[in-house]
């Protein structure tokens, strides 16, 4: 996909800038797009106590919440940005959003998690109060498109995207000799994944390695010792684990109302073999059997694992074509964020408030 150049804007970026977070990747992607980007890391406003942070997540009141709102308004007053880009705004009050807009900033809401899905993360109380005040919403789910259309809100349908600085292929000489993991799942223990992966290991006797958070809650200690090899992997460790895996599994988080897996785009960008849960959206993103493989049951998954472990040349070809598709179709951060900025320009032009240089 050919990327249209976005006009240059002064953007106050409000999100987590911690290493390894996808929001930090988007911050740097905007800079690569020649935007003037000013960081505002709202996640620095935390208590030392994890319990207190959990309570504030569910009940966003108190001194730190007041301070982050006051400091954001002060930053907008000082910097006079064209745009305030909110990445998962769960601490900001209606009064703060009103003041930001009074100061002339266009507001963009980019939220990869679903505020309305059945997972009920419990952190969305402030978001529900401000979401209809924001100027442009970046939507990832078909379910959200229907909601926001019904509410008459401005949106752009975007997608989960990979970051080209962090998700890229291994050296050209990379082969199965460098792959120490037969089958990998790297991610959280959501929904029925613990049962599914345990079945692959115990019932189908397949060599699956699991990495990620919260698996200690899903398995007994004896199971954890056999199944899980690493904790949460970020940045280079995450990419190298994908590289070192002959087959990378990916699921869809239905409780988050997802239509695809974010990892599907990261895995293919790493020129690695993707075996993902079948969905219409996955099949639209990658041609089945040519650019990726899919499954609808644990039996089908097991059959395809066995087949592709025994057919490395076919597996390499699919991984190569999947990577080419991810690049050609613009599944990267830079392309998707450029689309969002151009959509903002369309809205500003329609309202007679064009901006940028």
Q: Name the DSSP letter for residue 162.
A: B
| Residue 357 in this model has a pLDDT that exceeds 70 | no
Of 17-21, 44-48, 77-81, which range is least confident?
Answer: 44-48
Please give the class, per CATH, of domain 176-328. alpha beta
Question: Could you tell me the two tokens for 307?
Answer: 């087949």
Q: How far is CA 4 from the centre of its chain?
A: 22
254 or 47, greater pLDDT: 254
What is the arithmetic mean of pLDDT over 23-30? 98
Strand-strand pairing, 274-277 and 136-139? unpaired
* Domain spans, the chain: 10-161+332-350, 176-328
Q: How far is CA 154 from CA 131, 147, 198, 200, in A?
A: 11, 11, 43, 44
Q: How many CA atoms lie within 13 A of 344 on its CB side?
A: 28
For residue 86, give the 3-state DSSP assignment.
Answer: strand
**Architecture of the domain spanning 10-161+332-350:** 3-Layer(aba) Sandwich (3.40)
pLDDT at 22: 95
Confidence of residue 1 (pLDDT cuts 50, 70, 90): low
| Residue 127 in this model has a pLDDT that exceeds 80 | yes
| pLDDT per position as a tens digit, 317-338 | 999 999 999 999 999 999 999 9
| Residue 53 in this model has a pLDDT that exceeds 60 | yes
pLDDT at 230: 66
Q: Are residues 25 and 333 in contact, defined by beta-carbon separation less than 8 angstroms?
A: yes
Q: Name the DSSP letter for residue 299.
A: H
| pLDDT per position as a tens digit, 162-188 | 999 999 999 999 999 999 999 999 999
Q: What are the beta bridge partners of residue 84?
A: 12, 107
Q: Could you tell me what percent of the chain has a pLDDT over 70?
A: 96
Q: How far is CA 10 from CA 5, 63, 137, in A?
A: 15, 29, 19
Burial (Cβ within 10 Å: 0-12, 13-18, ≥19) of residue 83: buried
Q: Name the DSSP letter for residue 286.
A: S
Of 3-7, 142-146, 189-193, 232-236, which range is least confident?
Answer: 3-7
Alpha-carbon gap, residue 332 to 108, rounded angstroms: 19
């Amino acid at each position: 996909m050919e990327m249209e150049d976005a006009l240059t804007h002064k953007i106050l970026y409000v999100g987590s800038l911690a290493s390894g977070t996808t929001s930090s990747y988007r911050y740097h992607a905007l800079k690569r797009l020649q935007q003037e980007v000013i960081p505002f890391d709202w996640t620095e406003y935390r208590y030392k106590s994890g319990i207190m942070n959990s309570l504030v997540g569910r009940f966003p009141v108190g001194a730190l919440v007041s301070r982050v709102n006051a400091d954001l308004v002060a930053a907008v007053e000082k910097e006079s940005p064209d745009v305030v880009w909110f990445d998962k705004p769960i601490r900001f009050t209606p009064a703060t959003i009103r003041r930001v807009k009074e100061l002339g900033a266009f507001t963009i809401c980019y939220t990869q998690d679903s505020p309305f899905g059945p997972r009920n993360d419990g952190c969305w109380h402030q978001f529900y109060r401000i979401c209809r005040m924001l100027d442009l919403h970046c939507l990832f789910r078909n379910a959200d498109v229907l909601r926001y259309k019904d509410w008459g809100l401005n949106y752009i349908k975007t997608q989960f995207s990979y970051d080209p600085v962090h998700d890229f292929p291994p050296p050209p000489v990379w082969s199965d000799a460098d792959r120490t993991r037969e089958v990998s799942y790297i991610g959280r223990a959501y929904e029925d994944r613990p049962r599914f992966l345990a079945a692959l290991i115990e019932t189908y006797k397949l060599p699956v390695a699991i990495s990620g958070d919260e698996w200690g809650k899903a398995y007994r200690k004896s199971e954890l010792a056999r199944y899980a090899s690493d904790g949460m992997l970020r940045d280079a460790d995450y990419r190298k684990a994908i590289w070192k895996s002959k087959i990378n599994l990916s699921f869809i988080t239905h409780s988050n109302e997802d239509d695809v897996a974010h990892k599907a785009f990261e895995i293919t960008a790493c020129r690695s073999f993707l075996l993902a849960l079948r969905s219409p959206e996955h099949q639209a993103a990658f041609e089945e059997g040519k650019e990726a493989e899919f499954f609808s049951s644990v039996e089908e998954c097991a059959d395809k694992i066995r087949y592709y472990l025994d057919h490395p040349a076919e597996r390499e070809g699919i991984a190569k074509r999947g990577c080419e598709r991810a690049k050609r179709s613009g599944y990267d951060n830079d392309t998707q964020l450029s689309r969002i900025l151009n959509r903002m320009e369309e809205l500003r032009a329609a309202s007679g408030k064009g901006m940028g240089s």
